[in-house]
Amino acid sequence: MGSLVVFPFKTERPDVVLKNVAIAAHHESVDEVLCVGSDPETTYRAVEEAIPAIVSETDTPVDLVLQDRIGTKRPGKGDGMNTGLRHFVDSDCDRLHFYDADITSFDDTWISKAEKSADLGYDMVRHYFPRSATDGMVTWMITRPGFAILFPDSELPCIHQPLGGELVLSRKAAETIASDSNVIDTLITFSAVQHGMSISEVYIPQGKIHKLYGQLTDIRRMVIECFSAVQALRDQVLDQRITLDVQRAQGVPASITKKTGYDFEATMRLIPKTFTSRQLDVLATLPTPVVEGMLTAHTGNVSFLEESLWHDAYLALLDEYIEGDDDWEEMLFLVWVVRVLAYTTDVARAGYDGALEYLEGTIHQYRERSVGQTRP
């Protein structure tokens, strides 16, 4: 059998979703397509109405289901991906592809490149691509720093897109991940490394062009959930090396190098002039320079939160953060916002190539600082 392609989606442009579904259904390696909707809303109904025509044109089965509520974390995309995992395990397909449904730059090369790497025997194939220098700020400021701090001598911090929704799993890999009740989409990559799976990252030069954000409140929940997921890994051990193959990046479109990933001015307005007494107590657990800087950050003074201080703040957050506490969630989000604003102001605006070198260099610095250290 061939591959199953899964598109989790919420409220997206129906024309984009349906274009991507048709591309997958036309691909010679694809035996089935599954669309997993979060709610029976406008996009869901549009996909439902269009499926018969796609099936008739391609002769490929296309199914549409509502996502199941699985576990207690990540009620959105995580449930969509885990619903797809369950569907795949019960199918006869050999490989499982995941793609975000809102990618306007999606074409058949995404599937073809992944299939070629999977043919080489890799357990997981991940797609990576050029992104705006101010896009991917959860990956750059939350997930990869956490992996670098907690697992500096593993391959985990070196994976370019650990949160990306674009990946392929062999049947064995998918069954292993599906059997782990702790895995949500945030931790799929960690689970793969923990189980010793070989990973290939294939490069998609046209980039992942999708709708970007307004205020960074658009991804507030993602920041909180991803940090909580990393914090939950503090006692985990990665005691084996894996095979990681990364295709060389070639070319970045100007449409990406000149794109801004979020609304800077609107996000700056998120920083409050004052904090509640409880929020001040929470803030006081962070390094003193962070506390002092956050009290004046609303004036535009954000440059204090450079990469070294963010490392120190991250260490304190790993130890002190209380999951599910409203004040901790708010302070985590606001400190992260200031870190992103500082990076944007002092690094990203100076040029795309330098910004990407800086981000990769920061992850390397965090690994160097953490190698050989034992966390309590």
- Are residues 129 and 227 both part of a single domain? yes
Cα–Cα distance, 250 to 129 (Å, whole number): 10
Contacts of 235 (CB under 8 A, 6+ apart): none
Q: What share of the chain in percent tops pLDDT 70?
A: 93
pLDDT tens-digit readout, 224-278: 989 999 999 999 999 889 999 999 988 787 777 877 778 899 999 999 999 999 9
The CATH number assigned to the domain holding 16 equals 3.90.550.10
Which pair of structure tokens corresponds to residue 163?
């949160």
- Are residues 205 and 285 both part of a single domain? no
Give pairs for 287-295: CB < 8 Å, separation 24+: 287/312, 287/313, 287/316, 290/335, 293/338, 294/334, 294/335, 294/338
Whether the pLDDT of residue 69 is over 70: the answer is: no
- Are residues 240 and 281 both part of a single domain? no
Strand order in the sheet with 30-37: 62-66, 30-37, 3-9, 95-98, 167-170, 124-128, 199-203, 244-246
- Are residues 94 and 152 both part of a single domain? yes
Whether the pLDDT of residue 201 is over 80: the answer is: yes
Q: Which helix (H) or strand (E) holds 62?
A: strand 62-66
pLDDT score for 316: 98
Return the SS3 of 29: coil
Q: How many domains does the chain have?
A: 2
Is the Cα dihedral 91, 22, 159, 161 positive or negative? negative
Average pLDDT over residues 324-348: 97
Return the SS3 of 220: helix
- Are residues 167 and 251 both part of a single domain? yes
Which pair of structure tokens corresponds to residue 109?
């090369």
- Are residues 235 and 340 both part of a single domain? no
Residue 22 in any domain: the answer is yes
Cα–Cα distance, 194 to 294 (Å, whole number): 37
Whether the pLDDT of residue 376 is over 60: the answer is: no
Whether the pLDDT of residue 372 is over 90: the answer is: no
pTM of the full structure: 0.90
The parent domain of residue 318 ranges over 264-370
Cα–Cα distance, 133 to 118 (Å, whole number): 29
Which pair of structure tokens corresponds to residue 188?
């799929």
Residue 248 DSSP symbol: P
- Are residues 70 and 128 both part of a single domain? yes
At residue 166 the predicted structure's pLDDT band, cuts being 50, 70 and 90, is very high
- Are residues 253 and 269 both part of a single domain? no
Which of 234, 257, 280 terminates a domain? The answer is 257
- Are residues 320 and 218 both part of a single domain? no
Cα–Cα distance, 373 to 16 (Å, whole number): 47
124 vs 263 pLDDT, higher one: 124
Q: Which residue has the tokens 């960690």?
A: 190
pLDDT tens-digit readout, 41-67: 899 999 999 999 999 999 999 999 998
Which pair of structure tokens corresponds to residue 78?
């995580």
Q: What share of the chain in percent tops pLDDT 90?
A: 74
